[in-house]
Amino acid sequence: MELCVKNCSIKNGDFSIDCDFNLKQGNHLAFFGPSGTGKSSVLLGLAGFLPIKKGELFYGNKSLLSLEPKDRPIDILFQENNLFPHISVSQNIVLGLGPNAKMTKGNRDLVYKILKKVNLYEERDRLPENISGGQRSRVAIARSLLRKKPILLLDEPFSALDFVLKAEILKLLIAISRKENLSIILVSHDPRDVKFLGGDVLLFSDRGKTEFFRKDIFLNKFSKNLEI
């Protein structure tokens, strides 16, 4: 399967951004460029929260343009983890199944399995305020993984973390991606993220344009200027 973004124009208010790329299942792609160049707008367009004014968006041979966000094979993790402070880690995660999801025996088994994947099983009954920032990020990841969407969009969800901790979480995500054939698109303006993610790059300019690069070409062309 492959996500195909063909000559798409995504509109966010008065701003429009054009993009064109393919992402094979299980591969990684970084959206890289300065703030305000449309990286998050493209994510929101792919996920169905902003309109795609022209172009085509396919997953496999199926168009996604008419699908509501919940029906797309895509999940998005935003900068804010959006955890509910008054309920436990486990209860926050089960809400990935829906706003009215209950901790039935079957759902508990699913949640505990995900908790073990992200190394949070021992924290399952704690409140978000009683765990670290890195652990809260992993709770948000676990909630996304529970939805079992094949494509995960990351809108700088780890930007508040130092790079060592962020790298640890990215390493965990990459391991999960390889095991479960999960595609990842990561928004970043930190060149270290691009290198760490190890995928291709969609470079954003301040003119509402994007340019696709294979990883090795991008690193060879820009590594000196970006101090990667």
Q: What pLDDT is recorded for position 218? A: 82
Q: What pLDDT is recorded for position 228? A: 47
Contact 85, 122 (CB under 8 A): no
Q: What's the CA gap between 44 and 78, in Å, rounded?
A: 10
Q: What pLDDT is recorded for position 168? A: 84
Q: Tens-of-pLDDT digits for all 228 residues of the chain? A: 899 999 999 989 888 899 999 999 999 999 998 888 999 999 999 999 999 999 999 999 999 999 999 999 999 987 666 788 899 999 999 988 888 888 899 999 989 998 998 889 999 999 999 998 888 888 988 988 888 899 999 988 777 778 888 888 888 888 889 988 999 999 988 888 888 888 899 999 877 789 999 888 887 776 665 554
For residue 87, give both structure tokens.
Answer: 């309920």
For residue 150, give both structure tokens.
Answer: 């094949």
For residue 90, give both structure tokens.
Answer: 């486990």
Q: What's the CA gap between 140 and 173, in Å, rounded?
A: 12
The pTM of this model reads: 0.88
Q: What pLDDT is recorded for position 223? A: 65
